[in-house]
Amino acid sequence: MPLTLQVPDEYGYVLLVAASTFFINTTHVLLTSKYRKASGLVYPAPYASNEQAEKDPKAYQFNCAQRAHANFTENQPSFLGALLISGLRFPVASAVLGAGWTLSRILYAFGYTSGAGPKGRTRGSIGSFLFDTVLKFTSTYAALAMIMNW
């Protein structure tokens, strides 16, 4: 039997939150480029060596920016999947949870690159983990509800 899928009227909020993550990625690119230039590290080196980072705070800060960006790209796909799936059933709640995740990821990026190193990412890390976890459970429920006709 074919499935007819109706997108809720409020689904635009979900899409807006999803689109906002593209700008967070751009922010990461700009931060990483800024700290790469300041460190003097040239392409294609993805990170400063441990020796360079220990001697040069700018190289260390570049490594933090690069790692924050990598962590974002590791987490964005599953976040978007959970957001888009859960939004089919719970669009407003999903958009709110998604907005919390995006704000947490901004805190993560700026905290990690603030000079505090990994300790600077704590608030953003905790927030993004919590929002992401709730979205994953919500998306699982939405999928099961669709299968079971709940």
Neighbours of 45 (CB within 10 A): 13
Residue spans of alpha helices (H) in 50-121:
50-55, 57-89, 91-111
Task: Tell me what pLDDT residue 1 has.
Answer: 66
pLDDT band for 150, please (50, 70, 90 cuts).
confident
Asked if residues 117 and 108 have their Cβ atoms less than 8 Å apart, the reply is no
Q: Across residues 116-127, what is the average pLDDT?
A: 92
Question: In the predicted model, is pLDDT for residue 101 greater than 70?
Answer: yes
Question: In the predicted model, is pLDDT for residue 108 greater than 70?
Answer: yes
Distance between CA atoms of 109 and 29, rounded to whole angstroms?
A: 11
SS3 label, residue 60:
helix
Question: In the predicted model, is pLDDT for residue 2 greater than 90?
Answer: no
* CATH 1.10.10.10 is right for the domain spanning 11-148: no
More confident residue, 150 or 62: 62
More confident residue, 1 or 99: 99
13-24 pLDDT tens trace: 999 999 999 999
Query: CA 59, 21, 102, 76: dihedral to nearest 10 degrees?
Result: -80
Helix (H) or strand (E) holding 16: helix 11-39
Say which residues have a Cβ less than 8 Å from residue 5's Cβ, sequence separation at least 6: 88
pLDDT band for 3, please (50, 70, 90 cuts).
confident
125-144 pLDDT tens trace: 999 999 999 999 999 999 99
